[in-house]
């Protein structure tokens, strides 16, 4: 099969395929995957969100937007929105700040650089649920090693009953797992910064802190922005396993994020309509968030 294409005479960089069908054939597998794994379930969720059904699907009633009205007027849902905001912000901030600090430190190391970096990347390979269990064991008020230390320091540590403690625990576990990923990108970003700029600043008499904030940090902006998007979506969607393993949304509803609530209402409480309505809202939030980030935040990012 000979693949031939020619450039237009106008020297436009666009590639033109003479064959009309072949391009469609080439993208067909990707389209099929998107259709089966995204559009189809998404449309099912949309349909389900307008139904009121018993768990077994034996009787169902079309109720238009009733489920949305109920979900949005539920104070527990509002609570869940707040919890998600706090959790996502804290997780993204902690994960990125710590990763940046470590990356800057690792950049300075000359001997054994490779070993440090490899070790730093390891936690990324740990599954969320396992990461959750690790932190749970460390901080379990009865048997946790670190919980024992906290108690010894006189801190009343009880994530089983104290909502704040529980939040700290899930944020720590979620951030810890994401630090490695962020670290990797920050290291790469740091390496891309021309040494001459930093040296010039050093000759001009700028101290280390000054150099970081005026040269390195602004030049890292594209990486930081990219990671901000990735970390927010991570905190939104990929932390279910951690919350499920560590707190189960409790105590009270202190760590029930939007995603956890979708699961809890749908799979534990078996209220399928409410659960579907929540996932539709979640879908809208994510689309809006991503669009916002790319349209408004990205413009202000300086790509060197």
Partner 1 sequence: MKIQYVATGIAATFTLLSTSSAFAVTEISWWHAMTGANNEVVETLSKEFNESQSEYKIVPVFKGTYPEALNAGIAAFRAKQPPHILQVFDVGTGVMMAAEGAVKPVAEILSMGGSTFDKSQYLPGIVAYYSKPDGTMLSFPYNSSSPILYYNKDIFQKAGLDVDNPPKTWPEVWEAAKKIKTSGAASCGYTSTWLTWIHTENFAAWNNLQYGTQENGLAGTDVELKINSPVFVKHFQELADLAKDGTFKYGGRTSEAKQVFLSGECGILTESSGGLGDIVKSGMNYGIGQLPYEPTAEGAPQNTIPGGASLWVFGGKSDEEYKGVAAFFQFLSQTEIQARLHQVSGYLPVTMAAYEETKKSGFYEKNPGRETPIQQMMGKEPTENSKGVRLVNLPQVRDIQNEEYEKMLAGEQTAQQALDNAVSRGNAAIQQAIGN
**Binding residues for partner 1 (CB under 8 A):** 52, 54-58, 70, 142-143, 160-163, 248, 250-253, 264, 267-271
Closest distance between partner 1 and the C-beta of residue 149, in Å?
16
Q: What distance in Å separates the CA atoms of residue 220 and residue 146, rounded to the nearest whole number?
A: 35
Q: What distance in Å separates the CA atoms of residue 265 and residue 269, rounded to the nearest whole number?
A: 5
Closest distance between partner 1 and the C-beta of residue 142, in Å?
5
Closest distance between partner 1 and the C-beta of residue 165, in Å?
10
Token code pair at residue 193: 């910064």
According to DSSP, the β-strands at 15-16 and 51-53 are unpaired
Between residues 269 and 290, which has the closer beta carbon with respect to partner 1? Answer: 269
Place of tokens 């937007």: 65
Contact (CB, 8 A) for 175 and 100: no
Radius of gyration, CA atoms only, the chain: 24
Between residues 78 and 143, which has the closer beta carbon with respect to partner 1? Answer: 143
Between residues 165 and 186, which has the closer beta carbon with respect to partner 1? Answer: 165
Closest distance between partner 1 and the C-beta of residue 65, in Å?
16
In degrees and rounded to multiples of 5, residue 117 shows phi and psi of -65, -40
Contact (CB, 8 A) for 270 and 52: no
Between residues 218 and 251, which has the closer beta carbon with respect to partner 1? Answer: 251
Helix (H) or strand (E) holding 100: helix 75-108
Place of tokens 């009121």: 52
In degrees and rounded to multiples of 5, residue 52 shows phi and psi of -120, 120
Between residues 222 and 248, which has the closer beta carbon with respect to partner 1? Answer: 248
Q: What distance in Å separates the CA atoms of residue 211 and residue 208, rounded to the nearest whole number?
A: 5
Q: What distance in Å separates the CA atoms of residue 272 and residue 61, rounded to the nearest whole number?
A: 12
Find, among 298, 104, 118, 93, the residue nearest to 175 by Cα. Answer: 93
Closest distance between partner 1 and the C-beta of residue 161, in Å?
4
Residues 6+ apart with CB under 8 A from 255: 83, 87, 163, 166, 167, 170, 243, 246, 247, 249
Closest distance between partner 1 and the C-beta of residue 283, in Å?
21
Between residues 70 and 218, which has the closer beta carbon with respect to partner 1? Answer: 70
Between residues 17 and 240, which has the closer beta carbon with respect to partner 1? Answer: 240
Closest distance between partner 1 and the C-beta of residue 167, in Å?
13
State the CB neighbour count (10 A cutoff) for residue 17: 14
Closest distance between partner 1 and the C-beta of residue 59, in Å?
9
Between residues 8 and 61, which has the closer beta carbon with respect to partner 1? Answer: 61
């Amino acid at each position: 099969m000979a693949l031939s294409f020619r450039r237009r005479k106008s020297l436009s960089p666009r590639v033109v395929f003479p064959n009309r069908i072949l391009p469609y054939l080439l993208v067909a597998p990707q389209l099929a995957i998107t259709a089966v794994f995204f559009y189809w379930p998404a449309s099912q969720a949309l349909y389900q969100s307008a139904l009121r059904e018993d768990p077994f699907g034996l009787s169902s009633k079309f109720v238009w937007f009733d489920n949305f009205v109920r979900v949005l007027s539920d104070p527990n849902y509002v609570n869940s929105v707040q919890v998600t905001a706090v959790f996502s912000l804290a997780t993204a901030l902690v994960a990125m700040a710590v990763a940046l600090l470590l990356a800057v430190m690792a950049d300075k190391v000359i001997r054994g650089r490779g070993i440090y970096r490899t070790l730093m990347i390891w936690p990324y390979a740990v599954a969320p649920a396992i990461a959750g269990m690790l932190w749970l064991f460390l901080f379990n008020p009865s048997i946790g090693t670190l919980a024992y230390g906290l108690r010894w320091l006189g801190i009343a540590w009880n994530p089983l009953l104290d909502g704040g403690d529980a939040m700290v625990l899930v944020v720590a576990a979620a951030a810890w797992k994401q630090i490695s990923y962020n670290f990797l990108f920050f290291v790469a970003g740091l390496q891309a910064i021309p040494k001459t700029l930093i040296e010039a600043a050093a000759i001009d008499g700028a101290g280390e802190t000054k150099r970081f904030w005026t040269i390195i940090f602004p030049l890292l902006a594209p990486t930081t922005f990219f990671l901000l998007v990735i970390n927010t979506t991570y905190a939104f969607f990929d932390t279910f396993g951690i919350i499920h393993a560590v707190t189960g949304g409790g105590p009270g509803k202190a760590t029930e994020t939007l995603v956890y609530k979708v699961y809890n209402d749908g799979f534990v409480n078996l209220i399928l309509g409410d659960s579907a309505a929540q996932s539709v809202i979640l879908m809208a939030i994510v689309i809006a968030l991503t669009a916002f980030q790319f349209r408004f935040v990205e413009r202000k990012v300086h790509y060197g």
